[in-house]
């Protein structure tokens, strides 16, 4: 393979090395540029002379200022870049360049489980939710027995899962920050893939009493009731004797719910019933060139089909927020996005941190020098549609179109919050690689590089690396992801994480104090 780099935007003064294994000093490109030092794959090469203090430009945007003069052919990396200030939140353009709607995309369907409230499941799962971590091992024990002894009699149910978490007690339950984990767990417990409600297991003495998780009757989130009885087991109740009595009680309620879930069947649903969560994890410098733009193309297809597409990860949007506020459908939507950024700026400041805390050693190994470069690549997942709505962390999203659902960027926290927002299908892009998966919704994993897709051939679902080498276009891979989403949502194809049963823990975002 001859020496090759990719430049994303005509204004860019850096390119990304494409060749697997990188290139040695002296390697020269078509056009005459020669490397002055060896540069690893996916890292940046200076295309022109960049004076000390001058902007380094990638994606047509400034990703930093040169800390010293950089010669053409030099390796541009973290220590040659000064992090620029983030976009000021009080001077952003508000809905000044709202993209017009693209032509509708009709006729695409998937086979899903329609619920009474109109939501659609992509799986049919019995969920056993918990009000506190104390009961988690008991519920996991019961789930193992249910899977062996009861589930085989209910062939239309895909799985039984324990909805466990680290929350519920030892927390300041009335602090403002507590609202986020509580609504997160409520919305996960009533997820479309659980048919709208779970079996509940409580300890009895915990801070997060079942009534807090499922408050006022009639609010749509009241305690689930079956045959007039709440669908709940309280371990400390006087009438439960011994561990056998407790697990037997959980298993009895589980079987009642399994009988109901077993009556569900897949029916054709329009693609507009998809609620797709987008996320990246273990990103590299290719992510913004290959997998994220391909996912962005697929996101545009989903918006055209009338679906809901969520992107998230506040700290990876913060440095590109000026590109998004102008794309908002209305000034109010732009202001809601800014409010989420401001909340997170203050949250980080309370912890004596800032956005520079985001990039990982793996991101930097993969050629991402700082959070600005990472953010510009990350928001490519959001495609080109108008930003239709913004949802605070853990709130259920009801809008159609492109939605910003606020979450931290941490993979497993973001996935948990997106489930609460109503995600019934997850698309996860990765450069360095992650075996990430979720029990409650299928996770389609897309690699930024072919080398990763080949090495992890039984973990990665889509290889977007072919875009960098010219083997496929962004449009090709975007359509491939779109069609795979319909197949996976229908249960016709299984993702690798579902085939292996790789399901990460639920980790609700808790910005509130622990006691």
> Which residues contribute to the site for Ca ion (CB under 5 A)?
279, 281, 409, 411, 414
Sign of the four-CA dihedral 433, 184, 421, 223: positive
Nearer to Ca ion, 5 or 344 (CB): 344
Nearer to Ca ion, 214 or 428 (CB): 428
| Secondary structure class of 320 (helix, strand, coil) | helix
| Least distance (Å) between residue 87 CB and Ca ion | 21
| Least distance (Å) between residue 443 CB and Ca ion | 12
Sign of the four-CA dihedral 369, 371, 373, 378: positive
- Radius of gyration, alpha carbons of the chain: 24
**How far apart, in whole angstroms, are the C-alpha atoms of residue 209 and residue 212?**
5
Find tokens 């080498």 and name the residue.
Answer: 469
Helix (H) or strand (E) holding 160, with range, is strand 159-163
DSSP β-bridge partners for residue 234: 202
| Least distance (Å) between residue 207 CB and Ca ion | 29
Q: In the structure encoding, which two tokens stand for residue 299, read together?
A: 């996101």
Nearer to Ca ion, 146 or 414 (CB): 414
Nearer to Ca ion, 193 or 279 (CB): 279
Helix (H) or strand (E) holding 463, with range, is strand 462-463
| Least distance (Å) between residue 420 CB and Ca ion | 16
| Least distance (Å) between residue 19 CB and Ca ion | 27
Nearer to Ca ion, 23 or 409 (CB): 409
| Least distance (Å) between residue 102 CB and Ca ion | 27
| Least distance (Å) between residue 408 CB and Ca ion | 8
Q: In the structure encoding, which two tokens stand for residue 512, read together?
A: 């509130």
Nearer to Ca ion, 8 or 375 (CB): 375
User: For the residues of 168-232, what is the DSSP string, one character each?
Assistant: SSSB-TTSGGGHHHHHHHHHHHT-GGGTT--EEEE-SS-SS-HHHHS-STTTT-SPPEETTEESE
Alpha carbon 79 to chain centroid, angstroms? 30
Nearer to Ca ion, 221 or 414 (CB): 414
């Amino acid at each position: 393979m001859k020496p090759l780099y990719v430049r994303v935007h005509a204004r860019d003064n850096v390119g990304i090395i494409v060749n697997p294994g990188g290139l040695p000093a002296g390697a020269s490109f078509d056009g005459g540029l020669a490397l002055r030092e060896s540069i690893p794959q996916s890292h940046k090469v200076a295309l022109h002379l960049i004076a000390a203090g001058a902007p380094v430009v990638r994606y047509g945007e400034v990703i930093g200022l040169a800390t010293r003069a950089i010669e053409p052919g030099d390796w541009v990396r973290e220590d040659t870049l000064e992090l620029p200030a983030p976009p000021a939140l009080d001077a952003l353009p508000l809905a000044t360049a709202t993209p017009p709607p693209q032509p509708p995309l009709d006729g695409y369907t998937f086979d899903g489980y329609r619920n009474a409230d109109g939501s659609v499941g992509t799986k049919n799962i019995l969920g056993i939710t918990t009000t506190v971590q104390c009961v988690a091992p008991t519920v996991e024990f019961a789930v193992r027995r249910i899977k062996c002894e009861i589930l085989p009699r209910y062939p239309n149910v895909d799985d039984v899962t324990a909805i466990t978490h680290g929350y519920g007690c030892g927390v300041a339950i009335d602090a403002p920050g507590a609202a986020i984990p509580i609504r997160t767990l409520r919305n996960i417990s009533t997820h479309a893939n659980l048919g709208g409600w779970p079996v509940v297991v409580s300890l009895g003495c915990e801070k997060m009493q079942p009534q807090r998780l499922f408050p006022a009757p009639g609010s749509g989130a009241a305690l689930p009731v079956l045959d007039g009885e709440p669908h709940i087991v309280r371990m400390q109740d006087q009438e439960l004797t011994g561990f056998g009595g407790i697990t037997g009680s959980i298993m009895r309620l589980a079987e009642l719910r399994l009988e109901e879930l077993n009556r569900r069947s897949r029916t054709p649903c329009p693609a507009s019933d998809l609620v797709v969560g987008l996320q990246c994890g273990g990103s590299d410098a290719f992510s913004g060139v290959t997998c994220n733009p391909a996912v962005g193309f697929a996101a545009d297809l989903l918006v055209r089909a009338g679906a809901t597409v969520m992107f998230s990860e506040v700290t990876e949007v913060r440095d590109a927020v000026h590109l998004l506020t102008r794309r908002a459908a209305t000034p109010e939507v732009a202001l809601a996005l800014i409010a989420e950024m401001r909340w997170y700026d203050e949250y980080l400041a309370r912890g004596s941190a800032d956005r520079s805390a985001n990039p990982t050693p793996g991101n930097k190994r993969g050629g991402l020098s700082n959070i600005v470069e990472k953010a510009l690549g990350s928001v490519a997942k959001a495609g080109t549609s108008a930003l239709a709505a913004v949802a605070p962390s853990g709130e259920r999203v009801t809008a159609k179109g492109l939605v910003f659902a606020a979450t931290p960027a941490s993979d497993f926290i973001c996935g948990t919050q997106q489930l609460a927002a109503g995600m019934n299908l997850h698309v996860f892009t990765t450069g360095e690689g992650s075996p990430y998966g979720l029990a409650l919704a299928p996770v389609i994993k897309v690699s930024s590089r072919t080398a990763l897709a080949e090495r992890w051939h039984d973990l990665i679902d889509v290889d977007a690396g072919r875009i960098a080498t010219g083997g496929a276009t962004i449009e090709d891979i975007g359509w491939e992801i779109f069609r795979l989403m319909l197949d996976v949502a229908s249960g016709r194809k299984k993702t690798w994480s579902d085939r292996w049963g790789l399901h990460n823990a639920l980790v609700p975002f808790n910005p509130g104090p622990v006691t």
